[in-house]
Each structure stands twice: as structure tokens, then as C-alpha cells.
Amino acid sequence: ALGLAAVQADERVAHLVLPTSVIEDVYAGRMWTRSIFSAVPSTVSSTIILSNNITVAFWCFIGGMSCGIVTTLILVLNGFILGAAFKLCAQHGLLVDLLEFIASHALVEISTIVLAGASGYVLASALLSPGNLSRVDALSVRGKDALCLALACVPPLFAIGIVEGFISPSSRIPMWFKILLGASLFLAFWSYLLLSGKKKAVDTPRERVKPAEQSTDTSLEEELRRLHGEEKTEKA
């Protein structure tokens, strides 16, 4: 929204955040993706996309160690660039072309980066609000959850790298198929996260009951021993 509003107010803002080649292609009335993907083999472009996305996700995660400042900057900057690109394309009649290109991968790609940002904020919470624990102990505990979130980003990033490198730029694949694929990947991604999170929430209370049960059993045994000892004393 910020990038969109900024370009709406002054189109020159797009020059500050978008590459010159992108600006030139948009002003020429063509999508920059065509020149990029036509010059680079799909395998190479897919690898570059994967590497870039993993780098962004990694810094979103590790940026939590800056109390979330770096994570926030990365998320805001990427959102700003996306908004600026959308508005610039819309102003030059390329919005439909942009939507066709991103239809098969954008939803999952954005969701994955947001998830990586969430993992960074989990780390940040250990530093900013450790509760009754020391910050080191809080990092040790919450760091495991943060790492699980970060690792959950890896499989979808691989999938998106393949989709964006081979399917998204293809003019032979109809737009309806790209939309269907993007929606399916999006639903699969969030279904997996929600179901796995629900399973963890169900399993956790059971694990916490066991120590309580053991503690109760131990207390009963101690009480029986004490009573048995008193009986022996009275008989003596």
C-alpha cells in the first residue's frame, strides 16, 4: 500500500526502488520478465529465483536478533517494491500482464516470506519479552519454534522457484491454469501449516500431563510410607 500510494503521488519514486531495466521496459509498454526469461534458460532463472527467495527468508529470520528491526525493514521494503511495481504497471497498461505472470506463484511466495518474518519476530520476542526466563534461556526455548517456522519455508520456496522459472513466464500456458495452480499451492501451503500447528497444540497438553501424574504418584507413595512408619512406631 505504501509503494502504491507513493508512486501514485509521484511516479519518480519507482525509479528509487525498481531496477532501471524494469523502468525502461515498462515505459516501452512491455513486461520486463519477457526479456529476462528469454535471455536466460529456465533452469538458471529458477535457481536464481530460489537463491534470492532463500536469502530474503534467511534475513527475515535472522533479523529477529536485531529485536525485529531488520526483519521489519525487509518486510516493509519488499512490500513497498511490490506496491510500486503494481502501480507503475497499472499506469502504463501492463497490470493484466503482471497479474498473469505472478498468478501461479505470488500467493505462496508472499506467504512464505511473511512466515519467515514471523520466525524472526519469535526470536525478537525472546529478546524483548523473555518473561520469567533470562534472554539466553528464552532464546533457547523460542529459538526452536522460530527455527521450525524458518525451516517450513524451505519446501515451498523450492516449489515456487520451479513454478516461477518454468510456468509463470510461459506464454503457452493459459492464465486460468496459472490462477488455478497458484490457488491450489496457496491452499496446500496454509492447510499444511494449520493442520501441523493444530496437531502440535493437541499433543502438547498430553505431554504436560505426564509430569503432573508422576508427581501425584510420588506424593501418594510418600504419604503411604509415612503412615506405615507411624503404625510401626505406635506398635513399638
Express as a percent the part of the chain with pLDDT over 90.
Answer: 64
Give the predicted TM-score (pTM) of the model.
0.79
To 5 degrees, how large is the angle CA 54–CA 60–CA 64? 145
How many whole angstroms separate alpha carbon 229 and alpha carbon 221?
12
Q: What's the pLDDT at 1?
A: 73
> SS3 for 133?
coil
Question: Residues 3, 84: contact at Cβ < 8 Å?
Answer: yes
Q: How far is CA 20 from CA 5, 34, 114, 211, in A?
A: 20, 15, 27, 62
Query: CA–CA separation, 78 vs 84, rounded Å?
Result: 10
pLDDT band at 207 (very low <50, low <70, confident <90, very high): very low
**Placement of cell 496437531 in the chain:** 199
Q: Is 196 helix (H, G, I), strand (E, B) or coil?
A: helix
What are the start-end ranges of the H helices in the chain?
2-9, 13-17, 20-27, 32-39, 42-62, 69-91, 95-102, 106-128, 135-152, 154-162, 175-235
Find, among 75, 78, 82, 79, the residue nearest to 99 by Cα. Answer: 82
> What does the pLDDT average to over 62-72?
95
pLDDT at 216: 45
DSSP 8-state code for residue 103: T
Q: Identify whether the C-beta of residue 56 lies closer than 8 Å to the C-beta of residue 77.
A: no
Triad 55, 154, 164: Cα angle to 5°: 75
Compute the average pLDDT of residues 140-158.
Answer: 93
CA–CA dist 47, 165 (Å, integer): 8
Q: What's the rounded Cα separation, in Å, for the pair 182 and 178? A: 6
**Given pLDDT bands bounded at 50, 70 and 90, which one contains residue 214?**
very low
pLDDT of residue 80 exceeding 90, the answer is: yes
Contact of 108 with 186, CB cutoff 8 Å: yes
State the chain's mean pLDDT as an integer: 85
Q: What is the DSSP secondary structure assignment for residue 114, as one 8-state letter?
A: H
